[in-house]
Structure 1
Amino acid sequence: MLELNKLSKSYAERPVLHELSWTFKAGEFVSIMGDSGVGKSTLLNLIAGLDVPDSKPGLSPIIVDGIAMSGLDDDAATRLRRARMGFIFQAFHVLPHLTLLQNVALPLLLNGMPTDRAKEMLDAVGLGGREHDFPHQISGGQMQRVAIARALVHRPALVLADEPTGNLDPDTADAILSLLQREIKATGACAIMVTHSQHAAKMTDKILLLSKDGLQETTMSTRLSNN
């Protein structure tokens, strides 16, 4: 579903990611852990096409569903992201002038799909009955749930989640992670979750550790012994 092929990124000649290579499979829920500043959020932004990797002639560092991101212009990348990806941002990016229902329905409208599932997803994240509220009327944790519902509503093939449970209480976090698991298994999507939460990581199929040496699969016991 997703291939990374010697993916690198530097800012002002400071290397952040260096020649990362990994293959993520459809139907797989993967968490990525690592120290602060190691490049976890940068990695998600690169995969989504929100940032541009360092270029090397003849190399396609990011391939999504068989499509090389480096070969797409801005419009084509936007269409691919809109149709095939769901992104859960740390900063929510919930649109303040839209109701909660309109926020969740937006990916469906942009893809020319029926909007019935928007209410279903609001119910699934525990916000049933709040459809006509606006973002200023809800808490940060509730906005996080709106963002999660919006990312999943159009059944994307690739879900990218940046600390999706960071603003949620433990019980709500467990419910949201279970929802992610169900959606991934039901649709055969691939999901990549960046998290600092050991509890959240343990609910995924695979845990990857990002360090200056690249990506490597790990277990929670190994992760704990390295801290």
Structure 2
Amino acid sequence: MLELVNLSKSYGGRAVLAALSHRFEPGEFVAIMGESGVGKSTLLNLIAGLDAPDSGEVRVDGTPMSALDDDAATRLRRTRMGFIFQAFHVLPHLTLLQNVALPLLLNGRPDAARATQMLDAVGLGGRGADFPRQLSGGELQRVAIARALVHRPALLLADEPTGNLDPDTAAGILHLLRTEIKASGAGAIMVTHSHAAAALADRTFVLTRAGLKLA
């Protein structure tokens, strides 16, 4: 489903990723750990096509991301991928329910019941009419998680999905992520510093300058 082929990326002359190659199996839930600055978030952005590698390529279902024009890459992200970013990217002018339902609407499958279900699942039931300004950082992260899962993506990319959550809430969210991923047969790549989070993955890798190695 997802293959990295000799992927390299530098910023300001500093190599972040160098000739990284790896194949992720379909339906696999993978955790990636590693020191800060080693390129974990960069790797997620390259996989999503939000950034371009200096060399090498990302292949999704056998298709190189570099072979897609902007419209095709946008359609692929919209229909096949779900994202949980550290910055949340929750839209301030939309209610919580509208934020969560947005992927369904963009894919021509509006489903208020599914959006409501996901808000309930992340512990924000009954707050669909609230706006992001009324939420704490941890609550915003839960909205972002609900939005990423609502359209049952084939590939979930999660960057520190529990970084702003207390341990009990984090445990519940992680179990939700795994349940949703496994129920739909999706693949998932989760960048995390949390060993508790990584323990729920099928496999855990450590990203170093030398590449990805099993933990």
- Cα deviation, residue 27, structure 1: 1.6
Residue aligning to 1:45: 45
Q: Distance in 2 between matches of 1:169 and 1:26?
A: 31
Is structure 2 residue 103 aligned with structure 1 residue 107?
yes
Which residue is 2:16 aligned to? 16
Listed as ranges, the gaps of 5+ residues in structure 1 are 219-227
Partner residue of 1:87? 83
Q: Does 1:148 align with 2:155?
A: no
Percent identity reads 74
1:160 counterpart letter in structure 2: L
Deviation string for 1:113-166 (max 9, x for gaps)?
A: 132311110011110000000000111100000000000000000000000000
What is aligned with 1:64?
Answer: 60
Instruction: Give 1:199 shift.
Output: 1.1
TM-score normalised per structure 1: 0.92
* Counterpart residue type for residue 204 of structure 2: I
| Distance in structure 2 (CA, Å) of the matches to 1:102 and 1:65 | 30
- TM normalised by structure 2 equals 0.97
**1:224 equivalent in structure 2:** none
Pick which of 115-124 and 144-153 moved more.
Answer: 115-124
User: Where does residue 191 of structure 1 map in the other structure?
Assistant: 188
After superposing on structure 2, the runs of 4+ consecutive aligned residues of structure 1 that deviate more than 6 Å are: none
Q: Deviations over 1:82-120 (max 9, x none)?
A: 100001000100000000000000000000013231111
SS of 1:128 mapped into structure 2: coil
How large is the RMSD of aligned CA atoms in angstroms?
0.9
SS in 2 for 1:132: coil
Number of equivalenced pairs = 214
1:142 is paired with a residue whose SS is helix
Gaps of 5+ in 2: none
Q: Which residue of 1 aligns with 2:36?
A: 36
Say whether residues 1:168 and 2:165 are aligned partners: yes
Whole-angstrom CA distance in 2 between matches of 1:12 and 1:167 = 30
Alpha-carbon distance in structure 1 between the residues aligned to 2:209 and 2:15:
9
Secondary structure at the aligned position of 2:91 is classed as: coil
